[in-house]
Structure 1
Amino acid sequence: MGSPINPLERKRLNEPLDIGIRSINGLLSFAKGQRLGILAGTGVGKSVLMGMIARNTNADINVIALIGERGREVREFIDENLGKEGLKRSIVIAAASDEPPLVRLRGAFIATTIAEYFRDQGQDVMLMMDSLTRFALAQREIGLSAGEPPTTRGFTPSVFSMLPKLLERAGTSSSEGSITGLYTVLVEGDDLNEPISDAVRAILDGHIVLSRELAAHNHYPAIDILNSISRLMIDVVTKEHQGYSMRFKDFLATYKSAEDLINIGAYVKGSNQKIDMAIEKYDEMIAYLKQDIFENYDWRTSLDQLQGDYGGLTVGFRFETILRLNKNKEDLLQKDRGQINTLIQQQKDSKSFIHEVMQNKKHELNQKKRKISI
Structure 2
Amino acid sequence: MAVWQALEQRVLTQLAQVNLCRRIGRLSSIQGMVLQATGLDVRLGELVDIRPARGGRVITAEVVGLRSEHTLLMPYGPVDGLSLASEVRARGEAYSVPVGESLLGRILDATCEPLDDLPAPLGLVRMPRFVAPINPLHRSPITTPLVTGVKAVDVFIPLGRGQRIGIFAGSGVGKSTLLGMMSQYAEADVIVIALIGERGREVGDFIRESLGPEGLKKAVIIAAAAEQPAVLRRQAAYTATTIAEWFRAQGKHVLLIMDSITRFALAQREIGLSTGEPMGSRGYTPSVFALLPPLMERAGALNGQGSITGVYTVLVEGDDMNEPVADHMRAILDGHIVLSRSVAARGHWPAIDVLHSISRLAGALRTSEQKTQVERLRSALGSYQNSVDLIELGAYEKGSQPLLDTMIELKPEFDALLQQTPQEHFSSPAAWQSVRQLTQRLAKGVVHAG
TM-score when scaled to structure 2?
0.70
Max Rg structure? 1
| Count of residue pairs brought into register by the alignment | 321
Contact (CA 8 Å) 1:59, 1:124: kept in 2 or not? yes
Read off the aligned partner of 1:261 and give its amino acid letter.
L
Partner of 1:49 in structure 2?
178
Structure 1 residue 236 displacement after superposition = 1.1
Partner of 2:387 in structure 1?
258
Contact (CA 8 Å) 2:407, 2:442: kept in 1 or not? no
Partner of 2:403 in structure 1?
274
Q: Is residue 2:156 matched to residue 1:27?
A: yes
CA distance in 2, matches of 1:175, 1:112: 19
Superposed, 1:142-221 pairs within 5 Å as: 142-221=271-350
Structure 1 residue 96 displacement after superposition = 0.6
Distance change (3 Å), C-alpha of 1:323 and 1:96: closer
Match of residue 262, structure 2, among 130, 133, 154? 133
CA distance in 2, matches of 1:235, 1:319: 25
Superposed, 1:1-374 pairs within 5 Å as: 1-308=130-437, 315-317=438-440, 321=444, 324=447, 329=450
Distance change (3 Å), C-alpha of 1:320 and 1:98: closer
Hey, which of these two has a bigger chunk of strand by percent?
2
CA distance in 1, matches of 2:305, 2:234: 29
Structure 1 residue 322 displacement after superposition = 8.4
Contact (CA 8 Å) 2:254, 2:306: kept in 1 or not? yes
Structure 1 residue 165 displacement after superposition = 1.4
**Is the partner of 2:268 in helix, strand or coil?**
helix
Structure 1 residue 88 displacement after superposition = 1.1
Hey, which of these two has a bigger chunk of helix by percent?
1
**Is the partner of 2:246 in helix, strand or coil?**
helix
Structure 1 residue 219 displacement after superposition = 0.6
Q: How far does the alpha carbon of each residue in 1:91-110 deviate from its partner, in whole angstroms, 9 at most, with x for none?
A: 00000111111111111001
Structure 1 residue 321 displacement after superposition = 3.5
CA distance in 2, matches of 1:70, 1:175: 39
Q: How far does the alpha carbon of each residue in 1:245-293 deviate from its partner, in whole angstroms, 9 at most, with x for none?
A: 1111111110111111111111111111121121122111011100011
CA distance in 2, matches of 1:3, 1:184: 25
Read off the aligned partner of 2:310 and give its amino acid letter.
G
Work out which structure has the larger RCO, using CA pairs closer than 8 Å and 6 or more positions apart in sequence. 1
Distance change (3 Å), C-alpha of 1:192 and 1:317: farther
Read off the aligned partner of 2:271 and give its amino acid letter.
I
Read off the aligned partner of 2:447 and give its amino acid letter.
R
**Is the partner of 1:226 in helix, strand or coil?**
coil
Structure 1 residue 214 displacement after superposition = 1.2
CA distance in 2, matches of 1:322, 1:9: 49
Read off the aligned partner of 2:405 and give its amino acid letter.
D
Contact (CA 8 Å) 1:16, 1:236: kept in 2 or not? yes
Structure 1 residue 172 displacement after superposition = 1.2
CA distance in 2, matches of 1:204, 1:147: 29
Structure 1's consecutive aligned runs of 4 or more residues displaced over 3 angstroms after TM superposition are: 317-323
Contact (CA 8 Å) 1:119, 1:175: kept in 2 or not? no
Structure 1 residue 216 displacement after superposition = 1.4
Structure 1 residue 318 displacement after superposition = 6.9
Read off the aligned partner of 1:97 and give its amino acid letter.
A
Partner of 1:342 in structure 2?
none
Structure 1 residue 29 displacement after superposition = 1.1
Distance change (3 Å), C-alpha of 1:50 and 1:228: same
Q: How far does the alpha carbon of each residue in 1:309-330 deviate from its partner, in whole angstroms, 9 at most, with x for none?
A: xxxxxx22479548836xx65x
Give the unaligned 5+ runs of structure 2. 1-129
Contact (CA 8 Å) 2:269, 2:288: kept in 1 or not? yes
CA distance in 1, matches of 2:201, 2:270: 23
Read off the aligned partner of 1:324 and give its amino acid letter.
V
Contact (CA 8 Å) 1:210, 1:223: kept in 2 or not? yes
Read off the aligned partner of 1:284 and give its amino acid letter.
E
CA distance in 2, matches of 1:31, 1:133: 23
CA distance in 2, matches of 1:299, 1:11: 23
Partner of 1:360 in structure 2?
none
CA RMSD of aligned residues (A): 1.4
CA distance in 2, matches of 1:270, 1:40: 37
Contact (CA 8 Å) 2:194, 2:222: kept in 1 or not? yes
CA distance in 2, matches of 1:236, 1:317: 22
Structure 1 residue 125 displacement after superposition = 0.2
CA distance in 1, matches of 2:140, 2:154: 22
Contact (CA 8 Å) 1:244, 1:317: kept in 2 or not? no
Q: How far does the alpha carbon of each residue in 1:212-243 deviate from its partner, in whole angstroms, 9 at most, with x for none?
A: 11111111000000000011011011011011
Partner of 1:339 in structure 2?
none
Q: Percent identity?
A: 51
CA distance in 1, matches of 2:340, 2:298: 29
